Amino acid sequence: MNGQKLAGRVAIITGAGGGLGAECARVLAGHGALVAVVDINLAGAQAVAASIIGQGGQALAVQTDVSCEEEVKAMAAAVLARFGRIDVLYNNAAILSPEQRAGDLDVCNMDVAAWDRAMAVNLRGSMLCAKHVIPAMLLQQSGSVMFATSGFGAQGDLTLSAYAASKAAIAMLSKSVAAQYGKQGIRSNAIQIGLVENDVHPMPAELKKILLDNHLTPALGTPRQLADIVAFLACDESSFITGHTLAADGGFSSHTPSMAAMRGFFERVGSNRI
Ligand SMILES: NC(=O)c1ccc[n+]([C@@H]2O[C@H](COP(=O)([O-])OP(=O)(O)OC[C@H]3O[C@@H](n4cnc5c(N)ncnc54)[C@H](O)[C@@H]3O)[C@@H](O)[C@H]2O)c1
């Protein structure tokens, strides 16, 4: 356990049945949060909830397709029925399956069904969860909402055009929430995530090396590093931060596009004098 900076707080984490969301659920529970583990994958959500309960925490697995308004509404009601309040919402769910990636390419080769799925799950899903959770936060006059975005949503890239557009829009959605409900005690922030290693989507070694060369840190991110940032934005330690997009990306978005190639050049010539 890591102290109790979220003691008694109720946190909803979407897409928490696996990947980064699962680690966020476990870490927030470790800080004392009562966690709703929300995912379209019920078995995954139940396994994560069981592991939290096994560690002495409190968790509720809720099967929800975040793109479906009726299911999201029912999920928020189930969490309120079980825990009585909602303090934290982390919109982490995204559709990243191999089939989705196969259709979400450059614009000329975009599969329109993949485009629509990305918008429905990533963007509409985040909006729907905010829509149905924020009213409970307004009653309390407090809450922290967070949205998972990506470098793809901030910088042009060669593929995943639908994913990228959905993530850019999510960053704006976060600012809308911050502006609209800030005076009622609700904060909203987006987390622009770099490459965080995830067993669910292993990446070819060559691609990983290209990405690592463009991170300023010695290593790519870990699920735990990301979960620690989510815990910080969820709790009162970050009470003056709202409307912000925090780049949790090992510096990936903070340098010139030529930096990795220049580093190789300087190493080859043995000097960085230009
Ligand atoms: N892993 C990274 O390097 C990375 C980088 C940038 C951004 N992100 C973002 O972080 C978040 C988590 O990424 P991840 O790598 O853990 O992905 P992941 O695919 O491992 O996890 C996504 C989760 O969302 C769930 N999900 C999918 N569709 C759903 C739906 N309709 N309703 C409810 N749940 C649904 C999946 O079942 C899964 O458990 C995503 O928003 C992703 O865009 C991740």
Q: What is the pLDDT of residues 134-160, one digit of tens each?
A: 999 999 999 999 999 999 999 999 999
At residue 202, the pLDDT reads: 79
Sign of CA dihedral 62, 63, 65, 70: negative
Question: How far is ligand 1, taken at its centre, from the CA of residue 130, in Å?
Answer: 17
At residue 200, the pLDDT reads: 72
The residue whose CA has the least distance to atom 29 of ligand 1 is 40
Question: How far is ligand 1, taken at its centre, from the CA of residue 200, in Å?
Answer: 9
State yes or no: pLDDT of 3 exceeds 60.
no
CA distance 27 to 8: 14
Question: Residue 237 — very low, low, confident or very high, per pLDDT cuts 50/70/90?
Answer: very high
At residue 195, the pLDDT reads: 93
Residue linked to tokens 């890591």: 2
Q: Does the C-beta of 40 come closer than 6 Å to ligand 1?
A: yes
Total length of the chain: 274
Q: Does the C-beta of 30 come closer than 6 Å to ligand 1?
A: no
The residue whose CA has the least distance to atom 44 of ligand 1 is 193
The tokens describing 97, both together, are 């399956």
Residue linked to tokens 């949205």: 147
State yes or no: pLDDT of 2 exceeds 50.
no
**CB count in 10 Å sphere of residue 86:** 24
Q: What is the DSSP letter of 235?
A: S
Pairing outcome for strands 244-248 and 186-193 = parallel
Q: Does the C-beta of 93 come closer than 6 Å to ligand 1?
A: yes
State yes or no: pLDDT of 228 exceeds 80.
yes
- Do the beta carbons of residue 215 and residue 195 sit within 8 Å? yes
Q: Does the C-beta of 95 come closer than 6 Å to ligand 1?
A: yes
Contacts of 118 (CB under 8 A, 6+ apart): 95, 100, 104, 162, 163, 165, 166
Q: Does the C-beta of 192 come closer than 6 Å to ligand 1?
A: no
- Do the beta carbons of residue 49 and residue 60 sit within 8 Å? yes
At residue 1, the pLDDT reads: 41
Question: How far is ligand 1, taken at its centre, from the CA of residue 179, in Å?
Answer: 26
Closest CA to 136 of 58, 81, 66, 65: 81
- Beta-bridge partner residues of 193: 150, 248
**Model pTM score:** 0.97
Question: How far is ligand 1, taken at its centre, from the CA of residue 272, in Å?
Answer: 40
pLDDT in tens, 10-53: 999 999 999 999 999 999 999 999 999 999 999 999 999 999 99
Closest CA to 136 of 8, 28, 10, 40: 10
Q: Where are the alpha helices (DSSP H) in the chain?
A: 19-30, 42-54, 69-83, 98-103, 112-118, 125-140, 161-181, 205-213, 223-234, 259-269
State yes or no: pLDDT of 240 exceeds 70.
yes
pLDDT in tens, 89-125: 999 999 999 999 999 999 999 999 999 999 999 999 9
pLDDT in tens, 170-217: 999 999 999 999 999 999 999 999 999 887 777 899 999 999 999 999
Query: Mean pLDDT score of the chain, rounded to an integer?
Result: 96
Catalytic pick among 90, 163, 181, 252 = 163
Contacts of 73 (CB under 8 A, 6+ apart): 132
Instruction: Examine the residue annotation and report whether 163 is marked as an active-site residue of this protein.
Output: yes
* Assigned architecture for domain 10-204+222-254: 3-Layer(aba) Sandwich (3.40)
Q: Does the C-beta of 118 come closer than 6 Å to ligand 1?
A: no
The residue whose CA has the least distance to atom 38 of ligand 1 is 15
State yes or no: pLDDT of 129 exceeds 50.
yes
State yes or no: pLDDT of 259 exceeds 60.
yes
